[in-house]
Amino acid sequence: METDNFKIKPFVQAYRNQLLTVWERSVLASHDFLDRKDFGEISKLMSGVDFDNFGVYCLMTRSTMAGFIGVDGEKIEMLFIDPTYFGQGYGRKLIDFAISVLEAKHVDVNEQNIAALAFYRNMGFEVFERTEKDELGMNYPLLKMKLVKVR
């Protein structure tokens, strides 16, 4: 899929270092609620993830990654945009791709990530459940969301 000089391409190992850099830059810019120690633990886990195990797609301009999305089944497992590209509609383009091409219908968002929660609501997702801890058992409540309307 091509959009505004950007192409959405399937993840390949050659993108790995860029993907991890985008993830780190995005988290540091958007997850101000995250404890530094927890960030270090999550960062170690991310560096060991085999991104070939689920559908990861990268938003590329020439050889530079602006962001990526990971989908497993019908669930968006991750969406991260490099802060350089925040507010330019690229997260929206990746979500539209995940919904229309990959048939994604669910996403979890950290309750404290107010901007992400507003973004997903704007994209047609609605909260249906809350957990006290995240999937790693850390004290970051998650809001489970499902797609209720396509924009």
pLDDT digits (tens, 9 = 90+) for 40-93: 888 888 888 888 888 999 999 888 999 999 999 999 999 999 999 999 999 999
CA 151 to each of CA 8, 13, 100, 126: distance values in angstroms, whole numbers, following the listed order: 20, 33, 11, 13
The number of domains in the chain is 1
> Could you please report the per-residue DSSP string of 12-75?
-GGGHHHHHHHHHHHHHHH-TTS-HHHHHHHHHHHHT--GGGSEEEEEEETTEEEEEEEEETTE
pLDDT confidence of residue 2 = 47
Residue 104, pLDDT > 80, answer: yes
Q: Helix (H, G, I), strand (E, B), or coil: what is residue 134?
A: coil
| Average pLDDT value for residue range 33-44 | 84
Supply the CATH number for residue 115's domain.
Answer: 3.40.630.30
Confidence grade of residue 4 (pLDDT, cut at 50, 70, 90): low
| Average pLDDT value for residue range 1-13 | 80
- Residue 98's domain comprises 2-147
Structure pTM?
0.90
CB neighbour list of residue 106: distance below 8 Å, 6 or more residues apart = 74, 75, 76, 144, 145, 146, 147
